[in-house]
Chains A and B, each alone.
Chain A
């Protein structure tokens, strides 16, 4: 029994620590970020926000009809949806209020740009500093090469791996499969740097210090839109990530991310 299901040391201390620090930081960054967004709930393309011309791609708002009823709406690329109750108009302390994201999705729950910025920038510092530590150590200890970047041979197995996942035939050999590698590479090597750099591009002082930020992202308002998009993709990743942990055996998965030790399952013999 124990030979067929050996415990292996799957996650190093650096990976485990950074994982939980990021999870903690991203929780506060997301919810304080949505409160900041509520101060001006529209996203634009370019350097500036169009008030006398049209360059917004997303807008969340509230409007009052002739009979006095207030509806919340979300407009994406010109397509308008009624999102009353969640986006645009939602209940706050028992009363319907005009607010883009609802109180249960923001920190603080009440509207406070000043407080949300205090929370956001505190956790942004920790998030970015830990990312830098992780990136440097993972480049040197082979973590990125071994566990995150897929080899060309692995890339060829993507269709097979998708088919396996669809049938929930999950491997438990303690190694990342090609879809895991691609997901983690997307998060760690694309979305994390993207969300940090687009955040910095919104800073007028950073635009003076590093003007190339505006060039690579195509202007401050595009950077703000990309910052929001990266957030959305990270939330999407989180949903899939939690679903896969549950499907793969939450106790074993959680234990390996806390203690490092993971119990493998041998493949069924043919």
Chain B
């Protein structure tokens, strides 16, 4: 079929006129969370998750050298939580801090910072990539999460590690919401996934998540929950409500490998 000159002119003219006139507001109504168009596009993240999982296996994230640390670690998100429980712990220099390990484990744990620091540690100089686009290199010291999981004994039906946090974010009608994040068991057992209590050869500062934050070096910064109060093993997100992460609940991808 060959389009007539008139048909072609009319259709291309309409298309060319529509876009600049309405600006890109044209597409806004389809792109809200829950709209079928948005939710179809968002399924590409599932493909990214599967393909990247297959491509990277258990490969390590690149590590850098001392000379690559050229600046302090830029903090983002919550910088100074104001919950009363957190303020009390901070006032006591986190001496009374306990990490609660619960959920699908054989033996729930309650670990002090000293308990964690007496376990074997891992130190790594890595690049932190923020979803906004910037990167910053810093040195992190902490307890491999796999050691904590082994100490608690993970049940066979556990699929995700959920990090519960002291900080809250956002506003809206329901007020600020508690930050939480989750990762799959492969990332949880990855050798570079550590519960960090040290940064750049000093105690982890408050803006960077004191007393304890997680490093998930093959994903973006928002997966690396700060101010961790507890870790919980679950079979699926239905057990905890929500989409598995504070940011996933507001429309970001749960998997942040890209």
Contact = CB atoms under 8 A, between A and B. Distances in A.
A9 to B, nearest CB: 13
Interface string A103-144: 111111110111101110110010000000000000000000
Nearest to B1: A259
B132 A40 contact: yes
A198 B135 CA distance: 15
B205 to A, nearest CB: 15
B131 A39 contact: yes
Contacts of B60: 208
A185 to B, nearest CB: 27
Interface string A23-42: 00000000100001101101
A122 B253 CA distance: 12
Nearest to A35: B24
Contact of B48 (A48, A53, A121, A261): A121
A151 B57 CA distance: 43
A220 B25 CA distance: 32
Interface stretch (B2-10, B90-98, B150-158): B2-10
B31 interface: yes
A203 B131 CA distance: 10
A50 B3 contact: no
Interface stretch (A69-77, A232-240, A250-258): A250-258
B249 to A, nearest CB: 11
Nearest to A215: B62
Contacts of A39: 131-133
A190 to B, nearest CB: 23
B220 interface: yes
Nearest to A224: B133
Contacts of A40: 130, 132-134
A218 interface: no
Interface of A: 31, 36-37, 39-40, 42, 44, 47-53, 103-110, 112-115, 117-119, 121-122, 125, 200, 202-211, 214, 220-221, 224, 251, 254-255, 258-259, 261
Given A224-B133, A251-B9, 16 more contacts: A48-B68, A48-B70, A51-B72, A108-B27, A115-B31, A118-B41, A118-B44, A204-B61, A204-B219, A205-B55, A206-B258, A207-B218, A208-B62, A220-B129, A255-B3, A255-B8
28 contacts: A42-B134, A48-B127, A48-B134, A48-B135, A48-B137, A49-B133, A107-B24, A109-B28, A114-B253, A115-B38, A117-B131, A118-B31, A118-B41, A118-B45, A119-B41, A121-B45, A121-B48, A122-B42, A204-B220, A205-B257, A208-B59, A209-B55, A210-B55, A214-B62, A224-B133, A255-B2, A259-B2, A261-B2
